[in-house]
Chain A
Amino acid sequence: MSTVEHLGRGPLGRDELAALVARDIPPGSFVNLGIGQPTTVADHLPAGSGVVLHTENGMLGMGPAAHGDEIDPDLVNAGKIPVTELPGASYFHHADSFAMMRGGHLDVCVLGAFQVSARGDLANWHTGAPDAIPAVGGAMDLATGAKQVFVMMTLFAKDGTPKLVPECTYPLTGLTCVSRLYTDRAVFHIGRQGVTVTETYGMSVAELASRLEVPLRTLGAAE
């Protein structure tokens, strides 16, 4: 395998990014999808993937969002959105739900981020702004507990500054926890060897390297 440059196109749209993450979730995995954009990954899991979704408020086998008569105030996801249950679902209390997370039983979690460092440190819970009310929810537990932490985010902030950085400047959620980073511009694998670009979108590896302050490796023969 070598790094693939998808040129002659723009950055990935939100749906395309979600589809890319869904493609890389191994069939049969137990998966937690974070609040917000990560939730949309569920829409792109192929039928028959056997992926079982965990929601930290106490359920395995979570189904899609509930509509109309399906809405039940007792059945919500981590974002407090009404959801449905699939055959084989189970319910459990909060301490059990986080024990299965912290205990290393979840295969993958997908989270959003403000910043990811070249070491895989994650910052996604607090901007650190003096007037911001801190709220962590289950972000630290997920970052620490899941076997693999996938992050999806835009690669650059609105002002153009990179969100993949040498060191996070926002308050940390977890240390060396991110294994894969999916962005609108490129996909990265993060490990002991550093940051490896596996695919780019609408940008060459060389251009990417020029805009990031993080040393990049590539797969196989690219470059």
Chain B
Amino acid sequence: MTAAVFTDPDEAVAGVADGSTVLIGGFGLAGMPVPLVDALIRQGATGLTVVSNNAGNGDTGLAALLAAGRVRKMICSFPRQSDSWVFDGLYRAGKIELEVVPQGTLAERMRAAGAGIGAFYCPTGVGTPLAEGKETRTIDGRDYVLEYPIKGDVALIGAHVGDRMGNLVYRKTARNFGPVMATAATLTIAQVRHVVETGALDPESVVTPCIYVDRILDLSATEDSR
């Protein structure tokens, strides 16, 4: 089925269950789907495992979801930033679990989930604390760590433009995790700055084909379409 288009963020995130694993796109605030995350806060799902590169910036978006106490576990590469005070406070108070994953391994584990790969041998992290307890193998003289996929129940991503079928294009470095997360979740919800008619996107430049996208939030009617 091709994507359903919404203009109301609350309708776009309806049905997210407690305990879900939620993949949230963005690198810092570039590509971070703040209106979708705000809607998820209103929606109320709790006990979430969130997968995102960072652990929230400032007080908006993911940081606000964390502050609302909805996240049980954070899987990310770089939680500690100058403006990650919300996460820092929860972590130091023992109120949130943290799994730190090297950034490329984080992306590849989601890519594997979306591509039907059962696990993969990765050279990153060999001999470091992040490989402790993991199976290793030497292949052609090089050491690798066995890494498993990260599959999401839901992905919330930010793209630039979508068409009514759900094909997506991104803009500059705001692309980051979006195309990978779109493939790795059972339910992919993409916010876009505006929706165009089917056929208006150049098929050669579509980055995320519509097969990966279930719902689109059209931000053009709201003030979040910057």
Interface-side segment among B8-16, B62-70, B101-109, B211-219 = B101-109
Q: Of A58, A73, A91, A140, which contacts B125 at CB under 8 A?
A: A140
Chain A residues, Cβ within 8 Å of B88: 133
List residues 201-226 of chain B with CB under 8 A from any CB of chain A: 207, 226
Find the A residue at minimum CB distance from B184. A95
Interface-side segment among A108-116, A166-174, A186-194, A199-207 = A166-174
Given A138-B104, A141-B104: A59 in contact with B173 (beta carbons within 8 A): yes
Given A59-B173, A80-B28: A93 in contact with B128 (beta carbons within 8 A): no
Among A55, A74, A136, A145, residue most surrounded by chain B Cβ atoms (within 10 Å): A136
Interface size class, chain A = 35 or more
Chain A residues, Cβ within 8 Å of B101: 136
Q: What is the CB-to-nearest-CB distance from A53 to chain B, in angstroms, rounded to a whole number?
A: 13
**Cα–Cα distance between A74 and B178 once the two chains are bound (Å):** 13
B107-A137 in contact (CB<8A)? no
Given A59-B172, A98-B104, A133-B79: A76 in contact with B27 (beta carbons within 8 A): yes
Q: Of B78, B126, B180, which contacts A175 at CB under 8 A?
A: B126
Tell whether A196 is near chain B: CB-to-CB under 8 Å.
Answer: no
A92-B79 in contact (CB<8A)? no
**Cα–Cα distance between A97 and B92 once the two chains are bound (Å):** 32
Q: What is the CB-to-nearest-CB distance from A30 to chain B, in angstroms, rounded to a whole number?
A: 16
Q: What is the CB-to-nearest-CB distance from A175 to chain B, in angstroms, rounded to a whole number?
A: 4
Interface residues of A, Cβ cutoff 8 Å to B: 55-59, 72-77, 80, 85, 91-95, 97-99, 101-102, 121, 126, 131, 133-141, 144-145, 171-175
Q: List 12 A-B contacts (CB under 8 A).
A: A58-B173, A73-B29, A74-B31, A91-B175, A93-B180, A94-B107, A95-B110, A134-B79, A138-B77, A138-B103, A144-B123, A144-B125
Known contacts A74-B160, A99-B104; 14 further A-B pairs (Cβ under 8 A): A56-B104, A59-B172, A76-B173, A95-B180, A98-B108, A134-B79, A134-B80, A135-B79, A136-B102, A136-B103, A144-B123, A145-B124, A171-B129, A172-B128
Interface residues of B, Cβ cutoff 8 Å to A: 27-31, 53, 77-81, 87-88, 91-92, 98, 100-108, 110-111, 122-130, 160, 170-180, 207, 226
Q: Which 6 A-B pairs have the closest CB atoms?
A: A98-B104, A141-B104, A80-B28, A135-B80, A94-B107, A74-B174
